[in-house]
Amino acid sequence: MTETSTAGLAAFRAEAEEFLRSIAGGFAADEAARARRESDRIASVEELGEGHELQVERVRNLQARLFDAGLAWPSGPVDCGGRGLGRDHDQVVDDLLAELGFPSREVLFVGLHIVAPALDRHAAPELRARMLPALYRGDAIGCQLFSEPGAGSDLAGVATRAVRDGDGWVLTGQKVWTSMGHLADVGEALVRTDPDAPKHAGMTMFLVDMRAPGVTVRPIRQMTGGAAFNEVFLDGVRVPDAHRIGAVGEGWKVAGTSLGSERKTMVGDDGPVSPYALGRLAALVERLGAADDPVHRAEIAGTVASVVAMKAAAELPEGAWGSLGPASGSVLKMLMTRAVDRMAGLAGEVLGELAFTDSGEPDTHAWAEFVLGAPALHLAGGTDEIQLNIIAQRGLGLPRPPKPARQTTEARS
Amino acid sequence: MSDELLSQDEVRAALRGYFADTGGLDEARRLRDAPADDPGYDAGRWKALAGDVGLVSMAAPEGAGGLGLGLVHLTAAAEEAGAVLYAGPLRASVLAAWALGSAEADFDGVLTGAETVAMPQGFAALQPGLVLDGDGLVGGSVPDAAHGMTADVLLAIADTAQGPCAVLVRLGEEGVTRTPVAATDLTARPAALRLDGVPAVRLTAPGDRAALGRVGDAARLLLAAEQVGGAQGCLDHTVAYARIRTQFDQVIGTYQAIQHRCAETAIAVSAARALVFTAAVALDAGAADEAHRLVLLAKAEASDAFEGAAATLIQVNGGIGFTWEHDAHLYYRRAKATAAYDGRPSRLRDEAVASGALALLTR
């Protein structure tokens, strides 16, 4: 991380604020942003409502303005449209955008925080130089094509095949749980290129054009009622070799970069424990006077502690992690799910039946959606059980279980 | 600034190295079988820690001859000491040195470790059993002063006509009665102290509850840091055993039930450590109200983490973990006792909410 002087950061903030204020007018009228401010809705997992296509276009437009002004990726390398500044500069822009009421950039989350890190670290110079600016400018929305119906927790069990064909590859198979897949321009696809190699060694990562012939995207309706993820069918999709991310057979390593980045990002302000949700929860507890009720105090304290612990853990100095360092992303993800569970538990407890039957009263039934979304977070980004395996094996150094006689299942770690 | 002088990670590494080189748990293990009047720790080892490693002077304000390092550094040191159940007067001494700022009297001996410090086990509970009179003489009793049998100096809270204050009392022969007290934690050797007209130096102004509260928060936080270290120690021992013990023809550490139990412990320890860290940052920054709430939550979380980790240590070890020979009960005893000192978790959580902890959600 680049160190920054306080004065430098203040100057940057002033510059960013001046620019953002100059364009705020165009976005303050944003219907989706206003709906978010005025609506009662509160969710722990993303959902896309009606008219979201318009919202997506506005976010793309905003991101392009930010990029052209050098504010989309302050910490990024200069050759890819960044400014080579410290990560605290990214935070300054995020904070200002929230303060000034700009629309949420959630639709860009996967591309920026999961796909981009893999490209930055593993892609060939040409692909990297072309795609990173595209993602950061909002020209390309990214999605992640990792999970499959037969390979969720056992991610190394992916069966989607890529076969060499001249200067490219042909992909065939099915992916699932693809957030934003129906909006995405590109997908980061983990596929099997050598069925005879050991499970983890036979995979390769590609960047797939989601508009290419043979790609079919079908939304899946969630238990909360909305739809934000999809099934993706790859039927003889041609991908040029230049769109390979990392070496042939090293897909697992590339996936590790994306997954580690995802887990760490989930505890940030863009994750489910957002300043918006926290503000709403604090206001709810306050409005109901729950802190004065001895019955609720333990739950309030536990919720506050879990939220603070999650945020503070992300700031811990390196030495505080000790040998746990390589698994810190999994620890952070577990702290995030615990915080969300606590938040959902507290909201449900203080509201009681008000949360679950719609009386029309604002800020009551709205919390049911938050409560219903919580289970998804235990699954997304790797299940609790997988995170515990990673913590035990990679963080604590416990031995991996012996392989069954016929290699069928294996913890993803 | 102090951060550039010495990082928290460097303090952690130095202490870890010191304990690794000097036998770690040996001292606590020796105390297990020591007679009741044993001083409770190895004086030579303490002098090396305080003086050579510079543990105590780094806590003292620069004006008092110290490095002026903050609680972020002290909590890292306390964690490492807690991991090996260190029995010396670390918490009392660094706390006294850290609070020395306004004392007029000469306490150089404390900074070098030549003079050791005692303090009540539950210092932060702020219930003074001592009275400081207008002539600067203190009288009354402290029922459970850690290191009380041997300490040269007592850090405690005393009432005055203007309200309570923190004091340092030099424990000479005159007017001081020391009686050993049995304790569940075999690594603590508390004494009941009776004081009768003993000269004392004030560390905070009488009635200045904010200043006293700051010392109390620091005391509670250092205890929480020791608990986090204790929990880490339990986890390390649990994992080490799980890696070598075989059952049903398999190393038990390969079983998912064991792996997940260890991983859950690691998560709980990380959460408690993070709370201690962020509370230390707030105390160092002088954000008193916020720090107080964070300290209460940190101590509650650290108590739970330590109790859970100690229980796991015994369970994963099986029967041997319940024997006198094994170190597990030393951890378990300290976990149970420290969870009670300065308030059980349920009490602290209630206090945290009463003092406005909800505001931490959106800070």
Chain A residues closer than 8 Å to B280 by CB: none
As a whole number of angstroms, the distance between CA A269 and CA A17 comes to: 19
For residue B111, which phi and psi values (nearest 5 degrees)?
Answer: -65, -35
Q: Are strands B130-132 and B153-159 parallel, antiparallel or unpaired?
A: parallel
pLDDT at A151: 87
* Domain count for chain A: 3
Does a structural domain hold residue A295? Answer: yes
As a whole number of angstroms, the distance between CA B320 and CA A349 comes to: 43
Tell whether A83 and A200 lie within a shared domain.
no
CA gyration radius, chain B: 20
Q: Which of A28-32, A205-209, B253-257 is least confident?
A: A28-32
What is the tens place of the pLDDT at every residue in A79-133? 888 999 988 899 899 888 888 878 888 889 899 999 999 999 999 999 999 999 9
Does a structural domain hold residue A110? Answer: no
Active-site residue identified among A46, A188, A250, A262: A262
Give the other-Cβ count within 10 Å of A318's Cβ: 11
As a whole number of angstroms, the distance between CA A69 and CA A97 comes to: 14
User: Tokens in use for A205?
Assistant: 């990562």
Does a structural domain hold residue A287? Answer: yes
Residue B310, SS3 per DSSP:
helix
As a whole number of angstroms, the distance between CA A351 and CA A332 comes to: 28
- Of B306, B300, B304, give the one whose Cα is nearest residue B334: B306
One-letter amino acid at A355 equals A
Mutation for testing the A interface, residue in B73, B358, B363 having most A CBs under 10 Å:
B358
The distance of B232 to chain A (nearest Cα, Å) reads: 10
Contact between B277 and A334 using a beta-carbon 8 Å cutoff:
no
Q: What is the pTM of this model?
A: 0.91
Q: Do residues B287 and A348 make contact, with C-beta atoms less than 8 angstroms apart?
A: no
Q: Please give the class, per CATH, of domain B209-360.
A: mainly alpha
Q: Do residues B186 and B154 make contact, with C-beta atoms less than 8 angstroms apart?
A: no
CATH of the domain at A158: 2.40.110.10
Query: What angle (nearest 5°) sits at the alpha carbon of residue A369, between those of residues A366 and A372?
Result: 150
- Of B80, B57, B58, give the one whose Cα is nearest residue B69: B58
Half-sphere CA count of B20, side-chain side, radius 13 A? 6
As a whole number of angstroms, the distance between CA A89 and CA A8 comes to: 10
- Of B213, B301, B304, give the one whose Cα is nearest residue A304: B301
Q: Which residue of A has its CA nearest to B14?
A: A319
Chain B residues closer than 8 Å to A291 by CB: 353-354, 358
Interface of A with B in 331-360 (CB under 8 A): 331, 334-335, 338
The arithmetic mean of pLDDT across residues A5-23, rounded, is 88
Check pLDDT > 60 for residue B2: no
Which residue(s) pair with A175 in the sheet? Answer: A232
- CB of A275 within 8 Å of a chain B CB? The answer is yes
One-letter amino acid at A134 equals A
Query: Among residues of chain B, what percentage have pLDDT more than 90?
Result: 77
The arithmetic mean of pLDDT across residues B185-210, rounded, is 93
pLDDT at B160: 95
pLDDT at A55: 81
Mutation for testing the B interface, residue in A398, A400, A409 having most B CBs under 10 Å:
A398
Tell whether A198 and A97 lie within a shared domain.
no
First to last CA, chain A: 27
Helix axes B288-317, B256-284, angle to 10 degrees: 160
Residue B182, SS3 per DSSP:
coil
Chain A residues closer than 8 Å to B255 by CB: 401
pLDDT at B35: 81
Alpha helices in A204-353 (DSSP H): 251-265, 275-287, 294-313, 318-321, 328-351
- Given A251, A285, A306, the domain boundary residue is A251
User: Tokens in use for B42?
Assistant: 């190895």
In total, chain B counts a number of residues equal to 363
Q: Are strands B165-170 and B191-202 parallel, antiparallel or unpaired?
A: antiparallel
Q: Are strands B153-159 and B117-120 parallel, antiparallel or unpaired?
A: parallel
Q: Which of A330-339, B15-24, B224-233 is least confident?
A: B15-24
Q: Do residues B186 and B31 make contact, with C-beta atoms less than 8 angstroms apart?
A: yes
Chain A residues closer than 8 Å to B257 by CB: none
Range(s) of the domain holding residue A318: 267-396
- CB of A315 within 8 Å of a chain B CB? The answer is yes
Does a structural domain hold residue A256? Answer: no
First to last CA, chain B: 25
Check pLDDT > 80 for residue A331: yes
As a whole number of angstroms, the distance between CA A208 and CA A222 comes to: 25
Q: Which of A26-30, A55-59, A302-306 is least confident?
A: A26-30
Sequence-separated (6 or more) residues with CB below 8 Å from residue A303: A281, A339, A342, A343, A345, A346, B361
The arithmetic mean of pLDDT across residues A175-186, rounded, is 92
Domain B8-202: which CATH number of 2.30.130.60, 2.30.30.40, 2.40.110.10, 3.40.50.2300? 2.40.110.10
Q: Do residues B339 and B345 make contact, with C-beta atoms less than 8 angstroms apart?
A: yes
Which residue(s) pair with A165 in the sheet? Answer: A168
The arithmetic mean of pLDDT across residues A278-283, rounded, is 95
pLDDT at B126: 67
Domain ranges of chain B: 8-202, 209-360
Average pLDDT over chain B, rounded to whole?
93
- Of B13, B32, B21, B15, give the one whose Cα is nearest residue B331: B32
The helix or strand, by DSSP H or E, that contains position A366, with its residue range, turns out to be helix A366-379
Contact between A388 and B263 using a beta-carbon 8 Å cutoff:
yes
CATH of the domain at A25: 1.10.540
**Of the partner residues A282, A311, A398, the one whose CB lies closest to the CB of residue B259:** A398
pLDDT at A237: 97
Tell whether A70 and A161 lie within a shared domain.
no
Helices H / strands E in chain A, number of each? 14, 8
Check pLDDT > 70 for residue B256: yes
As a whole number of angstroms, the distance between CA A160 and CA A173 comes to: 4
ipTM above 0.90, yes or no: yes
Tell whether A234 and A317 lie within a shared domain.
no
Q: Are strands A142-145 and A186-192 parallel, antiparallel or unpaired?
A: parallel
Check pLDDT > 70 for residue A137: yes
The arithmetic mean of pLDDT across residues B202-223, rounded, is 95
The arithmetic mean of pLDDT across residues B235-243, rounded, is 97
Half-sphere CA count of B190, side-chain side, radius 13 A? 17
pLDDT grade, residue A30 (50/70/90)? low
The dihedral sign for the CA sequence B73, B75, B78, B82: negative
As a whole number of angstroms, the distance between CA A180 and CA A201 comes to: 28
Sequence-separated (6 or more) residues with CB below 8 Å from residue B275: A305, A308, A309, A312, B224, B294, B297, B298, B301, B302
Tell whether A169 and A281 lie within a shared domain.
no
Q: Do residues B150 and B113 make contact, with C-beta atoms less than 8 angstroms apart?
A: no
Contact between B260 and A385 using a beta-carbon 8 Å cutoff:
yes
pLDDT at B104: 66
- Of A47, A45, A245, give the one whose Cα is nearest residue A145: A245
Check pLDDT > 60 for residue A35: no
The arithmetic mean of pLDDT across residues A36-55, rounded, is 72
- Of A351, A164, A152, A328, give the one whose Cα is nearest residue A244: A164
Give the other-Cβ count within 10 Å of B64's Cβ: 21
Where are the strands (E) in A156-281, listed by range?
161-165, 168-179, 186-192, 203-209, 215-220, 229-240, 244-245
Residue B76, SS3 per DSSP:
helix
Check pLDDT > 80 for residue B102: no
DSSP state of A148: B
Average pLDDT over chain A, rounded to whole?
89
Q: Which residue of A has its CA nearest to B243?
A: A398
As a whole number of angstroms, the distance between CA A95 and CA A64 comes to: 18
Tell whether A247 and A153 lie within a shared domain.
yes
Task: Mark residue A44 as left, alpha or beta (left: phi above 0; alpha: psi -120 to 50; beta: remaining).
Answer: alpha
- Given A78, A104, A130, the domain boundary residue is A104
Question: Active site includes A148?
Answer: no
User: Tokens in use for A261?
Assistant: 């980045």
Q: Which of A89-103, A200-214, A326-340, B318-332 is least confident?
A: A89-103
The arithmetic mean of pLDDT across residues A50-63, rounded, is 84
**Of the partner residues A285, A308, A324, the one whose CB lies closest to the CB of residue B360:** A308
Q: Which of A49-63, A137-151, B267-281 is least confident?
A: A49-63
pLDDT at A95: 85
Contact between B242 and A304 using a beta-carbon 8 Å cutoff:
no
Please count the residue pairs, one from chain A and one from chain B, whose beta carbons lie less than 8 angstroms apart. 160
Sequence-separated (6 or more) residues with CB below 8 Å from residue B139: B130, B131, B133, B195, B196, B197, B198
- Given A194, A223, A251, the domain boundary residue is A251
As a whole number of angstroms, the distance between CA B282 and CA B58 comes to: 19
pLDDT at A380: 87
What is the tens place of the pLDDT at every residue in B114-164? 999 999 998 877 677 899 999 999 999 999 999 999 999 999 999 999 999
Contact between B250 and A402 using a beta-carbon 8 Å cutoff:
yes
Check pLDDT > 70 for residue A49: no
Which residue(s) pair with A235 in the sheet? Answer: A172
Query: Among residues of chain A, what percentage have pLDDT more than 70?
Result: 93
- CB of A301 within 8 Å of a chain B CB? The answer is yes
As a whole number of angstroms, the distance between CA B142 and CA A105 comes to: 59
The arithmetic mean of pLDDT across residues B95-113, rounded, is 83
- Using CB atoms within 10 A of its CB, is residue B55 exposed (0-12), middle (13-18) or buried (19+)? buried
Q: Do residues A350 and B303 make contact, with C-beta atoms less than 8 angstroms apart?
A: no
- Of B148, B243, B75, B330, give the one whose Cα is nearest residue A393: B243
Check pLDDT > 80 for residue A244: yes
- CB of A293 within 8 Å of a chain B CB? The answer is no
What is the tens place of the pLDDT at every residue in A393-413? 999 999 999 887 655 454 444
Please identify which residue in the block is written with the tokens 């006077």: A289
The distance of B252 to chain A (nearest Cα, Å) reads: 9
Q: Which of A299-313, A363-377, B29-43 is least confident?
A: B29-43
What is the tens place of the pLDDT at every residue in B272-323? 999 999 999 999 999 999 999 999 999 999 999 999 999 999 999 999 899 9
**Of the partner residues A313, A322, A399, the one whose CB lies closest to the CB of residue B274:** A313
